[in-house]
Structure 1
Amino acid sequence: MKHGRKLAAATTGLILAGSAAMTGTPASAATNMKGGPLPAGTTAINILNLNDFHGRIDTDGKGTLGKNFACTILTQREQLGAANTLTLGAGDLIGASPFTSAVQDDAPTIDYLNALGMNASSVGNHEFDAGYDDLTQRVEPRADYEYLGANVLIKGTQTPALKTHEIYDVAGVRVGVIGAVTKDTPSLVAGTGVANLDFIDPVDGVNRVANELTDGNEANGEADVLIAEYHEGGPYSSTTGTLADQLAVPVFAHLVNDTSAKVAAILQGHTHQAYVYDVQIPGEAAGSTRPVLQTGNYAAAVGKVQLGYDPATKKVTGYNAANVPAVAPSPACLTNATYQSAAKVIDDAIAFAAPIAAQPVGKITADILRDGADDRKRESALSNLVAQQYVDVVNAPGRDMGADIGVMNPGGVRADLLYGTDGTVTFAQAATVLPFGNTVKTADYTGAQFKQILEEQWQPAGVSRPFLAMGLSKNVTYTYDPTRAQGSRITGIFVGGAPIDPAKVYTIASASFLITNTGVAPDNFGTFLKGTNYRDSGLVDQNAFVDWFKANSPVTPSPVQHGVAILNAPTAINYGKTTTFRVEGVDLSSNGKVKNTSVLVSIDGRTATTAKVSSVRVEGVPSRDGVADVAFKLIGKILPDDSPRTVYIKIVAAPSGTTAWVPVQVKG
């Protein structure tokens, strides 16, 4: 049975094309009370919010994370008053989950959220990981809470494919909760699973429903207070970016500036950031603001919003908003029946998963890491490792698919491999690295197309993640100039130490998420759709990775950076004249233990110079660790005659072995 004090079923009727005119005057013109009491005479409407939970009921075999989060939710609900409190979400509650939940297709996480009394959530892109049919036929029937998607339509129609909203009675006030998901969802999940859906602009979806709920027509539902739950957000946390920084990002500015003024609070997700901002309500007097909040990710915090609704003016006149860090269960929690029900779900899931999870599959010699906390904008040792194993498994005897290059999208790598006490890696740890159940595929691309794939690491303008660093097999290196224009930043690619041939065909191996011809560009890498000779190995990537890990144990992380920035790269060298350029990004940031100290620069095997590497980070897109300024003068001929010829400057960083080549003409 679905939780909540609902007044009416949410509409699933037609959505009219275009933005409806704004009518009605619900919640607006509010003041941030900065933690103080809500305005006198107002009715408190409280929201406890989560986003990007990703099945984090257990990460340590004890359920610590899930139990802490459960207690924090219940404690806050008791303090606020359960009768006046809704528990809501901004999507990605399931999917990309740790082994304890993933081994049962996230059923334990759904049961856990049911036990906590979840009311509703927007869908996230990960709710579509196994497709629309799985969401509507398995996930939704199991969930006691509502999944909402005001901008998800049946393909080619204006008919909503999901509930657009739900209305709740909170102390006699009609509260409308509207959900929407990033319009990029088709490029973030397997395209076949959402092939029959359209994802329109989430703000358009929310505004259309907001207008409907305030048009005075009781037949289609009316609300006094509107809440928007967006699975989309800004790229900064409160500690790394101001509101001005966020508003400079088009997707964030659109969400907060163009969402109807009728919406009293905007809750966000998707970008895994933690922030609380006060944002001017469009069209209202200066100083009339509304809260915009995201809780981060992985059960780290509970979002708390308190709205003060004035029944006389029919407006929200004051609010408080904060992120409350999850804390260990209190004695009161331990005896709370709701907490005990949620904790039992966790314990049962751990008991089911434990025998499978504990099986050792191999060892590592050191941590093998992604790029920080869900950053994705710098190359990582683990993404590169996954890319290499794709080549190895499809080229194994008996398969021999002839892969030349392996690639991996950083968003598909969901957990680090940590050394721990003795380097042992369990089945659960290895399986959680690749949790999506893609198959391993190959397709053929020209060298020119592969260059374009690398160019597409710089994402289209306005997206929340401006750079997605591709993992690459160990035989591939490339150079780039971040100061160049979009589409022309890659300056050189080398496969097996030889420059790539733009006309030659190369076979690329990866997961079916990337190697696809569904018509939807995965992570905005549109060139992957232009391959030929698509072939499926039949291997599930998670199983293939576990088996590869067993066969290659112990596994050592490579400290080699595959992409290196060369600034002011020379095109020609004249004897007796000084050549200078800058090298940036020779250090692999995810392997912080290996810091390069120098680079050796040679030409056709002859040492030209060495240069010191400074362990600094150059901010940019992408940011770059490890910088060297190179200067040398070529004295003495290296050519048999005076005819100019193209040779290669070779740059090798020590001790990592990161290597880059720069083609130049040597003039006699």
Structure 2
Amino acid sequence: MPTMHARPRYARSWGVLAAGAAVLVTATTVGAPSNAAGSDSHGDRHRKHSRYEKIQILSFNDFHGNLEPPAGSSGRLVTGHTATGADTTIDAGGVAYLAKHLQLERQQARKQGRHTITVAAGDIIGASPLLSAAFHDEPTIEAMNKLGLSVTSVGNHEFDEGWKELRRMRYGGCIDDGAGANNQNSCAAHRFKGAKFDMLAANVKWSKGKHRSLLPSYTIKKVGDAKIGFIGMTLKGTPDIVTAAGIKGLTFTDEVKTANRLVPKLKRKGVKAIVVLIHQGGVPAQQSYTLPNGTTTQVNPTYDYACSQGGSLIAAQSPILPIAAKLSPEIDMVVSGHTHQPYVCKVKDPKGHYRLLTSASSFGRLITDTDLTYDKVKGDIVRTSVKGANLPVTRDVTPSPTLLSLINTYENLVRPIASKVLGRISGDVTRNDIGEGEQPLGDLIADAQLADPTTAHNGKTAQIAFMNPGGIRADLTAANSPYGEATGDVTYDEAFTVQPFNNYIVSLDLTGQDIYDLLAQQVTGANAGSHKILQVSNGFSYRLGSTGAVDGSVTLNGTPISKTATYRVATNNFLQGGGDGFGAFTKGTDVYYGGLDIDAFADYLQAHSPYTPPTTATRILP
């Protein structure tokens, strides 16, 4: 059974562990100890003849191109709580700090005679800040090469620009994109050579042909004398949360069946030590906290709360749990992601034996350090030896100069795009709920999409616009002035941080019944457990009930919509393809693609400057 992981070097909180297309085979030893790292020849001879090999696996997930230290809550970790129950936090993340912490962990491992490898569980790129996205995420791939990533699974966001672009990320090459004509510039610094690390997509198959995988299904790494197989997968539900056009011709298969079918293949190659890297995850249970007066309240969990510090296993409805419980008993541990949550937990395999399940939050704020013993006689991991903990990527170390140099190169290249002022806001425009799920920033984005002239088609202009809340990634803060601009000025960088996907705005015809179906899908079906309230444009309103819009309450410019009439609707191509469980969008007819969402947002800000956000809900009514 996994046990507590503790080392004396850092004063940190340690988690108590209660609970394809081609095959890549790497013959190179990863992380071999050296005399410079603290080994001596006598110790090396002893380990060479020892039955057991000590291994360190460092892992992270959901980096999302955060090269610079992420700001606000995205760049903090909850470490505890005050007497009033308020969070105490530390700043964390930034690729130069991530690289330094990885270096320090590897050095410590090698001094202790352990071999080491660094792996990840998807969404390394996509939904990235402008510094990476302006260059098609090439800087992030280069950063991963420099910090020593060996292998990752793909996640859903690796498909943001489509499968062809994902393969370019792996194998390299340049895009003829007009040298920044659309605020993106491939190969701006030099020719892009692609990833030096393996990218795995075991459950992403070509729909036709021999059902081969888009990228390799697994890779075998020699870590010291140990041979470890890594199987990489994204979540089966990826088609529901990415743009349909970007995955055309692909099929996403069941995670458990896919991994379990690969186990015999690995065993036939003499590999019994198997690790799954999967882009699907869980959510820690809420943390209870007792105030000095004896009152118990619910607080935000600390980064090491799940399965530790009194915390229970991650919430029972977490989608990773049934996957982890059904994976073959031959699989020794599971590195997960997608939910941006921190946990180091134990789960039982089908034979009732415990194995480790980990996730390192997001944006490079945590590293999971897993230690294990490899039995060279059996050729397998000693399951009871597996132990791990999440380690904060603090900013109190000297950042990696190599990564700082990379960041500086791209900061200079992106500055002319990033610093352009688009307009002004009179106050903060936030994602805060001002009633029934309506958000001030959601109102602004929906209005911008409605006003976008590029979606006009066949003499028809949009009457209603819908925006998915998950596509709104940050607030607009009036006081934020990264380029020295005046208070209230909104730069392209800030606007892009709000909408980083480069989605197209699409217009289409929907019937009134289709619109009622859309509004019902916010709180039913795939969204019954976690509601997704669409943001809507000015002039459109309705009353929200437990199963959708109250019948007869849906109006356009004060007039109830007719379920048999046709309306012209604008939205992004993600929703138009049925993303986020909104299948009613796929019933649309006369579909027409306009310009990019970020351009519509920028144009609207310029035309309505200074913009004053609403303070009460006027579109979604109780």
TM more than 0.5: yes
Cα distance change, pair 554–64 in 1 and its aligned pair in 2 (3 A): farther
Q: Which amino acid aligns with 2:388?
A: A
1:133 aligned partner, one-letter code:
K
**Cα distance, 1:256 vs. partner?**
1.6
Question: Is 1:458 aligned to 2:523, yes or no?
Answer: yes
Cα gap change, 1:488/1:354 in structure 2, threshold over 3 Å: closer, same or farther? closer
Does 2:587 match 1:511? no
Separation (CA, whole Å) in 1 of partners of 2:118 and 2:195:
14
Q: Of residues 114, 119, 123 in structure 1, which corresponds to 2:145? A: 114
Q: Where does structure 2 lack aligned partners over 5 or more consecutive residues?
A: 9-16, 18-49, 76-91, 173-193, 288-300, 481-486
SS in structure 2 at match of 1:167: strand
Question: Which aligned pairs between 1:482-631 and structure 2 lie closer than 5 A?
Answer: 482=546, 492-516=553-577, 521-537=578-594, 539-561=595-617
Contact conserved, 2:368 with 2:391, CA < 8 A, in 1? yes
Q: Do structure 1's residue 155 and structure 2's residue 207 form an aligned pair?
A: yes
Cα offset, 1:237, TM superposition: 6.3
In the TM superposition, 1:122-271 aligns within 5 A as 122-141=153-172, 142-156=194-208, 157-214=210-267, 217=268, 221-236=269-284, 239=287, 246=314, 248-249=316-317, 251-271=319-339
Q: CA 1:402/1:464 → structure 2, altered by over 3 Å: closer, same or farther?
A: closer
Asked if the contact 2:542–2:550 (Cα under 8 Å) also holds between the matched residues in 1, the reply is no
What are the ranges of 5 or more consecutive residues in structure 1 without an aligned counterpart? Answer: 1-29, 565-658, 661-668
Instruction: Indicate the larger mover: 52-61 or 198-207.
Output: 52-61
1:325 to 386, 392, 414: 392
Equivalent pair of 1:295/1:302 in contact (CA under 8 Å): yes
Aligned partner letter, 2:326: D
**2:67 alignment partner AA:** I
Pick from 336, 356, 360: which aligns with 1:295?
360
The 3 A distance-change label for structure 1 pair 513 and 500 is: same
Go from structure 1 to structure 2 and tell me whether the alpha carbon gap of 1:448 and 1:303 turns closer, same or farther (over 3 Å shift). same
Amino acid at match of 1:144: K
CA distance in 1, matches of 2:519, 2:354: 42
From 72, 77, 97, the equivalent of 2:101 is: 72
- CA gap of 1:441–1:398, structure 2 versus 1, over 3 A, is closer
Partner deviation per Cα, 1:228-266 (whole Å, 9 max, x = no partner): 111111244675596777453262222221111112111
How far off its partner does 1:502 sit?
A: 1.4
* More divergent stretch after superposition (236-245 vs 407-416): 236-245
The within-5 A match list for 1:377-456 is: 378-394=437-453, 401-420=460-479, 422-456=487-521
Provide the TM-score with structure 1 as the length reference.
Answer: 0.70
Query: Which residue of the partner structure matches residue 340 of structure 1?
Result: 401
* Aligned 8 A contact 2:51 2:377 in 1: no
Inter-partner Cα distance in structure 1 for 2:328 and 2:528: 21
Out of 25, 31, 35, the position equivalent to 2:2 is 31
The answer (yes or no) to whether the contact 2:418–2:492 under 8 Å persists in 1 is yes
Q: Which has the larger radius of gyration?
A: 1
Alignment-mate amino acid for residue 554 of structure 1? P
1:96, distance to aligned residue in structure 2 (A): 0.9
SS state of the match for residue 277, structure 2? strand
Please state if 1:48 is matched with 2:63.
Answer: no
**Matches of 1:253 and 1:64, distance apart in 2:** 27
Secondary structure at the counterpart of residue 554 of structure 1: coil
Query: What residue identity is the alignment partner of 1:274?
Result: P
Over 3 Å counting, the alpha-carbon distance change for 1:90 and 1:138 in structure 2 is closer
| Alignment counterpart, residue 470 of structure 1, candidates 534, 552, 555 | 534
What residue identity is the alignment partner of 2:55? I
CA deviations on 1:382-404 (whole Å, 9 max, x unpaired) are 22221111111239999974211
1:480–1:563 contact (8 Å) kept in structure 2: no
2:515 is paired with a residue whose SS is: helix
The one-letter amino acid paired with 2:220 is I
Give 1:60 deviation, angstroms. Answer: 7.1
Q: Are 1:58 and 2:68 counterparts? A: yes
- State the alpha-carbon separation in 2 of the partners of residues 481 and 541 from structure 1: 30
How many residue pairs get aligned? The number is 509
Q: Is 1:454–1:490's contact at 8 Å kept on the other side of the alignment?
A: no
Counterpart residue number, 1:276: 344
DSSP-derived class of the 1:502 partner: coil
Q: 1:448·1:503 contact (CA, 8 Å) conserved in 2?
A: yes
In the alignment, residue 169 of structure 1 is paired with which amino acid?
K
Measured against aligned partners, the alpha-carbon deviations of 1:182-204 in whole angstroms (never above 9, x if no partner) come to 11222222212211110001222
CA offsets 1:146-167 (integer angstroms, 9 cap, x no match)? 1101111111443222101111
* Aligned mates of 2:532, 2:129 — CA distance in 1: 23
Bigger share in strand: 1
* Distance in structure 1 (CA, Å) of the matches to 2:454 and 2:564: 23
After superposition, the CA RMSD in angstroms is 3.1
1:585-644 deviation line (CA, Å, top 9, x unaligned): xxxxxxxxxxxxxxxxxxxxxxxxxxxxxxxxxxxxxxxxxxxxxxxxxxxxxxxxxxxx
SS at match of 1:275: strand
> 3-state DSSP class of the match of 2:502?
coil
> What TM-score do you get using the length of structure 2 for normalisation?
0.75
Q: Secondary structure at the match of 1:366?
A: coil
Greater RCO, CA 8 A, separation 6+: 2
- Letter of the 1:406 partner, please give it: A
CA contact (8 A) 2:512 2:563 kept: yes
C-alpha distance in structure 2 between counterparts of 1:235 and 1:48, whole Å: 21
Provide closer, same or farther for how the CA distance between residues 199 and 395 of structure 1 changes in structure 2, counting only shifts above 3 A. Answer: closer
Report if the CA contact (8 A) 1:478-1:562 is conserved: no
